[in-house]
Structure 1
C-alpha cells in the first residue's frame, strides 16, 4: 500500500513519465505462483479497492483493472509455465501491455477529453520492459523475505 501511495512521486523522481514500474502486477503474479488463485484474487480485489479509495478516479475503475490483471495472469499461467523465469518475464510483459491498453480504453470510455500522447506505445514498451525484467529479481527478494528456500538449479 505504501508503494501505491508513493508511486507517483517515486516514478516522477526516477524516470519522469517515461517508465511506469508496475509492482502491483508483480505482486499478483507472485501470489498466484506461490499461494494460488485465492490469495492472488483477494489481493487484486483489495488493492483495487484501496486505489479506488485514495484516487479521484471513477469508482470501481482500479478494482476492475486489478482484477483484469489477475485474470490475465491466471489465464496466461495456463499456457506458460509460470515457475520458469522466462515465462514469468513473458507473461508479465504481456499482462502489463494488455493492462495499459485496457486502461486507455476505459479512460476513453469514462473520462471525456482524454489526451493521448503520440508516444504512448513507447511508454507501454518502457513499462513492459522495466516491469518484466525485474520479475525474477523481485520474486527472489519476495522468497527471501517470506523465508522460502531458493530452488537449486541442479535439481537435487
Structure 2
C-alpha cells in the first residue's frame, strides 16, 4: 500500500533528477566568454541540500552520486572525478548540518555557501593534482565568489519555493534524519 504523500515525494524526486540533469547538460553548453552567467549558481548543490533537508541522507547521497556520474559520462576528464566531487558536496552538506541548523534560513545560507566553497576548493585541488596546473585568476575567483554567495543566498528562497511546489507549509519539513544528526547517541550499557 502506498503511504500518503509517497507519490508526491517520488514526483518531486523525479523533478529534482530531471532539473539536475538538464542543468548539468546546459551548463556544459553555456560558457559565457565574459565570465559570469546565470548557470554559475550551483543548482546541483542546492538540489542536493534540499533533498537532504526534506528527504534524508540516502536520497541526497544517491542524487549527488548520480549527478556526478552523469557529469563523468559527458566530460573528457578522468572517470570518477565529478562523482568524487559531488560526493564531497554531499559530505559538506552532511557535516554542515551537524554544525548549523539546516532548517533555518541562516543555516541554509551557511551550509550551502560553505559547501560551494568546499566544492570549488576541492575542484581546484583535484585539477592541480590530475592536470598539473593551478590557475587562479581574478576572473575565476570572481566567478567562484558569485557562485558561493549566489547559491547561499538563493537557498532559503529556492527551498521555500520547493516546499510550496510540494504543498508544504512553512516549517512542515518531513526529513527523517535531521533530528538525529545533532543529538549525540545515548550513553547506554555497552556490555
Deviates further, 54-63 or 113-122: 113-122
- Superposition deviation, residue 8 in structure 1: 4.0
Tell me which residue corresponds to 2:130. Answer: 110
Show CA shifts across 1:68-123 (max 9, x none).
Answer: 00001001101100000011001111111111011000001001345332443332
Tell me which residue corresponds to 1:147. Answer: 167
Correspondence list, 1:1-156, <5 A:
1-10=21-30, 12=32, 16-18=34-36, 20-151=40-171
Task: Give the distance between the partners of 2:133 and 2:112, measured in 1 at CA.
Answer: 30
Aligned partners of 1:92 and 1:132 also within 8 Å = yes
RMSD after superposition: 1.9
Task: Give the distance between the partners of 1:11 and 1:88, measured in 2 at CA.
Answer: 28
Task: Give the distance between the partners of 2:135 and 2:141, measured in 1 at CA.
Answer: 14
Report the TM-score, using the length of structure 2 for normalisation.
0.72
- Provide closer, same or farther for how the CA distance between residues 136 and 10 of structure 1 changes in structure 2, counting only shifts above 3 A: farther
Aligned partners of 2:35 and 2:139 also within 8 Å = no
Greater Rg, structure 1 or structure 2? 2
Task: Give the distance between the partners of 1:11 and 1:130, measured in 2 at CA.
Answer: 18
Task: Give the distance between the partners of 2:43 and 2:126, measured in 1 at CA.
Answer: 21
Task: Give the distance between the partners of 1:118 and 1:88, measured in 2 at CA.
Answer: 27
Deviates further, 117-126 or 24-33: 117-126
Aligned length: 150
Deviates further, 107-116 or 67-76: 107-116
Task: Give the distance between the partners of 2:120 and 2:89, measured in 1 at CA.
Answer: 10
Show CA shifts across 1:44-78 (max 9, x none).
Answer: 01111011111112100000000000001001101
Q: Structure 1: any 5+ residue segments left out of the alignment?
A: none
